Chains A and B, each alone.
Chain A
Amino acid sequence: MTNVETTSPVAPDTRASRAGSQGDVAGEAAPTKMTKKRKGMIAALVAALLILALLFAWYLMNRKPLSALPGLSSTTMPHYELSLYGATKPLGVAVTPTGDRIYVTESGGTQLVRVYDRGGKQTGTLKPPASTGAWHLPMYVAINPVTKDVYVSDRQSAAIYVYDSNGKYLRTFAPKGAVGKFAPMGLAFDPDGILYVTDIAGATTKTHRVLVFGADGTLVRQFKAQGSMSFPNGLVVDLRGNIDVADSNNGRLLIFNKSGKLLSTISPGVGEGDLGMPRGVAVDEAGRLFVVDTADHMVRVYRVEKSKVTPTYIGSFGDEGQLDGTFEYPNGVATDKRARVYITDRENNRVQVWGY
């Protein structure tokens, strides 16, 4: 900017300024006509300061990477950022909206839930008390957006354990109503705290279903699919309020509306966007739907649009392997509000963090 001043074409003024500075300058400054150039410079500077202030404000409110600025393309795939280590055969993952606390279910090793900070440092564990039995197999985990409590499904004890946000065990979720035999798997909440659970109880897949519980734990409704579900796993309430369910062993994603009407299906197959064996499901604020395809060792990404019943396939990321950014039988997925995607990489014993 110094350069601008010294090389300014406003030479007469500059000379005048120099001359004036040698004499008395105590007089009142009268409004003078500025050159167009200088006016332009002031306008540009004010505009730049304003943009910077807006950028600061936007960033402090969202804390997202700049690549996630509104209006930028949402069709790009995320990139690998880091991995969290320490969990043996991790399955489910949930993350606080800020990404500062990450909950990971461990199906091998000590079979508990590990809690990490955003840098991958383990900060605690969640484990049900001895009164709930000696054997546990935590599967999926979800955070109640209203109470901030953490819900963990347990396949071994066929129960859901509830912890507060500090990791203190609160209770075992007791469903009210005619639930019958209950073997919870995937967990998801809607913004009002309504809990959706995939249930694989029963000797055959005919009884596999999705259960919907009110905030007080009362069974509100249940839904099944044509031809029955086969080991439904993860599920999520998407931006339209629909419930997207990974019908894992049928290799498809089922999209229900809130009342349980099946609206659409993403099918199994070999085509682009077709599924192999979907497990975890998550959505982010940008309307992207992430489906972990464990058999194909990748995460498929779809865009949820209000005008379309079926999400539009936009790409996939990951491949089979052990290097950074590759997976061996990934399972769970979660997103935070900072444009990060967390995927449990089961056979590599890590949780991968990808970001936009």
Chain B
Amino acid sequence: MKPNRRTTSYSDKRVSRLLRLGVAVLVVGLMAFVALYYQDQHVDAGPSLTGRQIAGAEAAVKKAPNNVQVRLQLAAAYLMDKRPNDALTQYDEILKADKANRPALLGRGRVLLNKGDLAAASVSYHKITDVAAKGEFAGADPQAQEAHYYLGSIAIKQGKTKVALVELETALKINAADSDSLYLLGVAQMKDGDPKLAVNAFKRALLFVPTGWCEPYSQLALAYGKLSLAPQKTYATGMANVCLKKPVDGKAQLKTLLKGPVAVDAMLGLGLTAEEESNNPEAVSWYKQVLTRDKKNATATSALSRLGAGPTSPAPAAKGSSTTQGPS
């Protein structure tokens, strides 16, 4: 039977109107929801801490344009806000008034170094080292040390290995525990064709920063490779792998060395790896094994002390282990 055309069309119109109304409600509802959500969730963050510092320092510079300290603060704030050119302007303004201002020279050098202007950066740093070398406290001058370090870094980039060696050794005379200078010295010694000295420098750098810094381990592996010391190379590669978040590979490499000439180093590495994995009982076990071979090993002794497992301390609990301690 055919449907009634007239009633069908009327019903269709009504349905269409309802559909349109429904769609309108949906659209308006969605818009209302978006407006409500935005108004309710959004809070104006206002200027950042750096923005506030810049505004404050700019006001201070306007008030006292000859005050070097406030200009240094403004330059530091610009640097934090990733505005190196503005910082450079401030450093230059300071150096117009005080040619030997060290914080400004250091800051200027850093900015220029980051911009890749090695020659100009080098000039800034030399202005510090030339004066500092004649000073009474030349051997204990942290700003001169920083300048020598960066001059060494620049010289390596410029391919002036001999210059780099001199600068970095001078930096280390001022601060022998500067791991960054030690690492760069190793890099320069490698470039100078002396992997034996480089090994020593990398090992000293790693003494101060044994975890979370992978480059010295990778460079150490290269240096050992050049010296054809296979077990030592495996050790350094294993430690580099652990550092590069490949602990399974790293540990496997270290475990192959437990009976060789670098057994103690491998055990220390395995102990450190266990510590990084929060497995303190295993770390203690490795460090204790080190002491059975080398009773005076300072690294193992200090690690055991750090883990609360010295000769008189009870063995540490594993992370998340339960205890039965009751209320007192």
Residues of chain A having any CB pair with chain B under 8 Å: 1-2, 5, 13-14, 16-21, 23-25, 27-34, 38, 41-42, 45-46, 48-49, 52-53, 55-56, 59, 63, 65-66, 81-83, 85, 118-120, 209, 221-226, 259-267, 269-274, 309-310, 322-324, 348, 350, 353
Residues on B lying within 8 angstroms of A by beta carbon are 3-16, 18-20, 22-23, 25-26, 29-30, 33, 36-37, 40-41, 43-46, 48-50, 52-53, 80, 211, 275-280, 316-317, 319-328
Judging by beta carbons under 8 Å apart, are A21 and B13 in contact?
A: yes
Beta-carbon contact of A269 and B45 below 8 Å: no
Contacts of B13 in A (CB 8 A): 17, 21, 25
Cross-chain contact A270 with B325 (CB below 8 angstroms): no
Decide: A221 near B49, CB < 8 A? Known: A119-B43, A269-B278.
no
CB distance from B51 to the nearest CB of A (A): 9
New contact pairs (20) apart from A119-B43, A324-B50, CB-CB < 8 Å? A14-B12, A16-B5, A17-B9, A27-B10, A29-B11, A42-B18, A49-B29, A53-B29, A56-B33, A82-B45, A118-B43, A119-B44, A209-B328, A222-B328, A261-B325, A265-B323, A267-B280, A267-B317, A271-B275, A322-B49
Tell whether, in the assembled complex, residue B325 and residue A323 are in contact, meaning their CB atoms are under 8 Å apart. no
Task: Select which of A16, A48, A83 is within 8 A of B8 by beta carbon.
Answer: A16
Residues of B within 8 A of A273 (CB): 278, 319
Asked if B19 contacts A1 (CB within 8 A), the reply is: yes
Say whether B11 contacts A30, CB under 8 Å.
yes
Whole-angstrom CA separation of A345 from B15 in the bound complex: 60
Contact, CB under 8 Å: B321 / A265:
yes
CB distance from A22 to the nearest CB of B (A): 10
Contact B10–A45 (Cβ < 8 Å): no
Q: Are A19 and B275 within 8 A (Cβ)? A: no
Cβ–Cβ contact B276 & A271, under 8 A: yes
Report the bound CA distance from A27 to B9 in whole Å.
Answer: 11
Contact yes or no, B80 A226, CB < 8 A = no
Residue contacts A-B, CB under 8 angstroms, 21 given = A18-B9, A25-B13, A30-B4, A32-B12, A45-B26, A49-B22, A59-B36, A59-B37, A63-B40, A82-B44, A82-B45, A83-B49, A120-B43, A209-B328, A224-B328, A262-B323, A264-B321, A267-B280, A323-B49, A324-B48, A324-B50
**Smallest CB gap from A60: residue in B:** B36
Contact B322 A264 (CB under 8 A): yes
The CA of A314 and the CA of B278, in the complex, are separated in Å by: 15
Q: Are A322 and B15 in touch, CB under 8 angstroms?
A: no
List of B residues within 8 angstroms of A348 by Cβ: 49
Which among A30, A85, A120 is the interface contact of B7 at CB below 8 angstroms?
Answer: A30
- Which of B6, B279, B316, B324 interacts with A24 by CB under 8 Å? B6
Q: Report Cα–Cα, A221/B4, bound state, in Å.
A: 84
Bound together, the chains give a CA A269 to CA B19 distance in angstroms of: 63
Contact A66 B52 (CB under 8 A): no
Contact: A82 with B320, CB < 8 Å? Answer: no
Residues in A neighbouring B49, C-beta threshold 8 A: 83, 85, 322-324, 348, 350
CB atoms of A32 and B11 under 8 A apart: yes
B319 with A269: CB separation less than 8 A: yes
A18, B16: Cα distance in complex, Å: 13
CB pair A223–B327 under 8 Å, yes or no, is yes
Which residues of chain A have C-beta atoms less than 8 A from B41's C-beta? 65
Complex-state Cα separation, A346 to B194, whole angstroms: 48
Q: For B43, B277, B279, which residue has the most chain A Cβ atoms within 10 angstroms? A: B43
**Residues A41 and B33 in contact in the complex (CB < 8 Å), given A270-B276, A274-B319:** no
For the complex formed, measure the closest distance between the CB of B81 and the CB atoms of chain A, giving whole angstroms: 8
A16-B12, A222-B327 known; A49+B25 contact, CB < 8 A: yes
Measured between C-beta atoms, what is the minimum distance from A347 to chain B in Å?
Answer: 11
Cross-chain contact of A120 among B23, B26, B46 (Cβ < 8 A): B46
**How far apart sit A139 and B319, CA to CA, in the bound complex (Å)?**
29
| Structural contact, A271 and B80, CB atoms closer than 8 A | no
A3 to chain B, nearest CB (A): 11
**A214 to B211 CA separation, bound complex (whole angstroms):** 47
* A19 CA to B123 CA, complexed, in Å: 91
Alpha-carbon separation in the docked complex, A56 to B278 (Å): 45
A66-B41 Cα distance, complex, nearest whole Å: 10
Asked if B276 and A25 make an inter-chain contact with CB atoms under 8 angstroms apart, the answer reads: no
Least distance between B72 CB and chain A CB atoms (Å): 16
Q: A324 — which chain B residues lie within 8 A by C-beta?
A: 45, 48-50
Least CB distance from A343 to B in Å reads 14
A223: chain B residues at CB < 8 Å are 327-328
Q: A209 contacts which chain B residues (CB < 8 A)?
A: 328
